Amino acid sequence: MWLILGFVMVLCGLALSPLPASAQSPQSYTVAPGDTLGAIAARFGISLDALVAANGIADPNQLAAGQVLAIPSGSDPLSIAAASGVAYSGSTAGVRALPGDTIARLAARYGQDPAMIAGLNGVEVDERLFPGQPVTLPAEVIPTRSPAYFGAISGIELTPSIMQGRTGHIYVDTLRPVALTATWLGQPVVFTPVDAAGLRQFALLPVGALQEVGAYELVLGYTTARGAPINRAWSIGVEDGGYESQQIVVSDDKAAQMTPEAIQAERDKVVGVWSEISPGLLWSGPFLRPIDPQYVTTSPFGTRRDYSVADIGNFHAGQDFGAPEGVLITAPADGVVVLAEPLIVRGNAVILDHGRGIFTGFWHLSEIKVTAGQSVAAGDVVGIVGNTGLSTGAHLHWEMRVYGVAVDPMQFLEEAVY
């Protein structure tokens, strides 16, 4: 649900810059900066020649922002959708595509049916869009942007509420490049520029699976050119994740290895690894599943756990996929291997750094197929399913950490990082 708190706060922080409302009339279209006749024609499902003829355009390369174009009858988004067999009767508005966007990716971003979005735009579901291309969406899912009036900050979009174990977003637009800072749930968040000019930045907002339900402050700020700090705070709700509980009984031989000293030493090692913040984000777009889809979840993220051995933890920090030994495990996104070694609790383990405080881990492997320092691409083999460490059967434990906080990795299979 979109909320406006003095400015736009956008669910999952994944909005694009909306097009002017006047541009959405079925009879006319107001040209926005970056538009081309070809893109406009494609958007309304008409030929370029028809658009040129309807407007008496002598030179198709001469197009000015603010210019109003007549759109031939029957080419509005609702007519295009109806012609495609898509039933939609609501109002429409537009956004602009980001680099790497497809219709399917936009639909996932806004929680819409890809076929409906494709129908409104007269394109295929897997259509790849060029950066800045106008795309028609249902008007109700697109917020009306309003200024933040916060020094150099001109607009803010953030997730108004986040479930336990999930990850929200904040997007900040500025009038000039500034070094943003923010504190969320007692720790700093990491901003990453979205555009080359550095005028739009985003950060992830992780919520631990055990975080108490309630309202919490996000404090955002920066230091002015004169050295004066400016800060403002906004409230974000944390909602119940609805997690179940289970009891884990560990065999005596494995339990004997789980001494408090060994558990703490391993915990210190992995925390040290995923506490680092590398300078660049190494990927964009949704993650790939690290194991073949035929291997289903046997224990989801966030399940409250009661172990029969020492202090291992009281919730499941990853997603378990049941699979026999020998099944390949692949990188879900581009990254760098920062740990590849046997551990007492996690067994043969691999950790990938995806940049800007975002890590994935793969535990209980029978074999490790990468080495520390190695760069991997999405889909590269990193290991093989096994039953090593504190494991009661062959499976893959897939973990994700954002600034050290364990979050549900399955969310990142559905949503682009920005």
Q: What is the pTM (predicted TM-score) of this model?
A: 0.65
- The CB density around residue 52, as the number of other CB atoms within 10 Å, is 16
Query: Based on the number of CB atoms within 10 Å of its own CB, is 175 exposed (0-12), middle (13-18) or buried (19 or more)?
Result: exposed
pLDDT at 10: 32
pLDDT at 246: 64
Superfamily covering domain 19-141: LysM domain (3.10.350.10)
Cα Rg for the chain, rounded, in angstroms? 24
pLDDT at 30: 75
CB of 204 closer than 8 Å to CB of 184: no
pLDDT at 257: 67
Sign of CA pseudo-dihedral 27, 28, 34, 40: positive
pLDDT at 40: 74
* Cα angle 114-117-120, degrees, rounded to a multiple of 5: 150
Stretches where the chain sits below pLDDT 50 are 1-26, 74, 144-148, 308
H helices of 213-291, where?
252-255, 260-274
Instruction: Give buried/exposed letters for 141-153 (b at 16+ CB in 10 A, else e).
Output: bbbebeebebebb
- The CB density around residue 197, as the number of other CB atoms within 10 Å, is 10
Separation CA 357–CA 379 (nearest Å): 21
Residue 154 amino acid letter: S
Which residues, including other chains, have CB under 8 Å from residue 125's CB and lie 6 or more apart?
Answer: 102, 103, 104, 107, 114, 115, 118
CATH number of the 245-414 domain: 2.70.70.10
- Phi and psi at 69, nearest 5°, equal -105, 140
pLDDT at 147: 44
DSSP 386: B
Q: Choose among 122, 173, 135: nearest CA to 8.
A: 173
Superfamily covering domain 153-239: Macroglobulin (MG2) domain (2.60.40.1930)
Tally the C-alpha atoms within 13 A of residue 62's C-alpha that lie toward its C-beta.
5
pLDDT at 19: 41
pLDDT at 324: 96
Tokens 């909306």 locate to 18
pLDDT at 166: 93
pLDDT at 16: 36
Domain with CATH 2.70.70.10 in the chain: 245-414
